[in-house]
Each structure stands twice: as structure tokens, then as C-alpha cells.
Structure 1
Amino acid sequence: MKSPLAPENFEMFAEPIAGTVEKTIAPNQPGRVKCLGTFWPARFIEPDCQATVEADEPVMVVGRQDITMLVVPVK
């Protein structure tokens, strides 16, 4: 059985992509973002990130794990 954190499950983007939060993303609480013209599940790339990003706020999408976008807050 593969670990969910196995490197082959991650894709880091060469350049960050601007995204907008649709559903709040908070510590240990995934949300949703709009980027690349559609909506995606999203979570912070750093597991210990203590930020909260509310709906309509910007984030930078830096990679993905399966269909979940990995984001960093913009502040």
C-alpha cells in the first residue's frame, strides 16, 4: 500500500498560479479554490500553516496532490 504522502502523488508547478478561495481554508481544514477556470479541493501545502483564508481572498497555487490543489496564503 502506498503512503498518501508518497512523492509520486505530488506535482509542484514550475510557476505559482493565482487562485481565489471559494470555501474557507484553515489549519487542518481543507477548502476549495478557483483556478485554471474551474473549482478544486484545496489545502495549505505547509501542514503547520496557521493562516485562515476566507472566501474571495487570493491564494497562490504552487502544486497539487492528486486533484487537491496545494496553496499558500497571499498576504
Structure 2
Amino acid sequence: MKYLFVKVEIEMFPEPLIGTVEERITSNQSGRVKFLGTYWPAKLHESDREITLIPEETIHIIGIQGITLLVVPINNELTHQK
């Protein structure tokens, strides 16, 4: 049996968006966020430290990979290159 693995590209948003954690997200485990009235799978974007996002915490959504939103804590310093 042959498997086909397709690399899913990351799309970064020009400005961070606001969402709310619905299901806990850690540095090692994906979770779920509520964004624009809909629930999305989500994971932390390139964190070099241990982070845990808990339900009802407000977060920044900075990109998407497939259908998974890429998130960071609100207090995280964001740098967007233009």
C-alpha cells in the first residue's frame, strides 16, 4: 500500500485576530478555539517555552495550516514582517 503525504502550507495573517480557547492547548498538544462563532482545531505556533492555554483564555490567531489555526498568547510579543 502506498501512502501520499502532502505538506500543508502555512498562511500567516497580516494582523493577529482574536479568539477564545475552548479546549486546552499546550506546547505539545493541539486543542480547540472559538473564532467568529465557529470552533476550530488550533495549536501553538513555534513556541520555544512551555505554554498552556486554558479554556476561556483570549488568544491571538496569527495564521492557519490546513484547517488548524495557529495561535499565541495575547501577551506574546508579535513581530510581523512586511
Q: TM-score range by the shorter chain?
A: 0.7 to 0.9
8 A Cα contact 1:28 1:47, kept in partner: no
Task: Name the SS for the 1:72 alignment partner.
Answer: strand
**Higher gyration radius (CA):** 2
Q: What is the rounded CA distance, in whole Å, between the counterparts of 2:68 and 2:40 in structure 1? A: 6
The reply to whether residue 60 of structure 1 matches residue 56 of structure 2 is: no
Residues matched between the structures, number? 72
Tell me by how many angstroms 1:3 deviates: 5.7
Identity of aligned residues (%): 47
Q: Which runs of 5 or more residues in structure 2 are unaligned?
A: 76-82
TM-score by length of 1: 0.84
Q: Deviations over 1:36-62 (max 9, x none)?
A: 221100000115341101000011000
TM-score by length of 2: 0.78
